[in-house]
Amino acid sequence: MNTTLTIDKAGRVVLPKPVRDALQISPGDALELESSEDHIVLRPAPGKGRVYKKQGMWVFNSGSSVPLSAEVVNKTIRRVRAERDRHVLGKFKK
């Protein structure tokens, strides 16, 4: 997605909703900023979550007191499966 953003008087920019949705960014989430010469890169900061095995099943603990919604989990599962399918079919783009 290419778009033009405007910086407000406080130096803030608003990320478009489709971008926030695609990256699963919510209010309060941390972002990493990388700047170099003529460009700026924002990316979600690595979370403090961990994956561990509990009673033979892999469990993800996000490190947050707010549980992931079923919608976020299902969307992530669909995205991962689609990426896997593209990879298996030889259509994987890096």
Q: Is the pTM value of this prediction over 0.75?
A: no
pLDDT digit string (tens) for 77-93? 999 999 999 888 886 55
pLDDT digit string (tens) for 19-35? 888 888 888 888 999 99
CB 63 within 8 A of CB 48: yes
- pLDDT at res. 22: 83
Mean pLDDT score of the chain: 86
pLDDT digit string (tens) for 37-56? 999 998 888 777 788 899 99
Q: Enumerate domains of the chain plus CATH numbers.
A: 1-46 (2.10.260.10), 49-94 (no CATH)
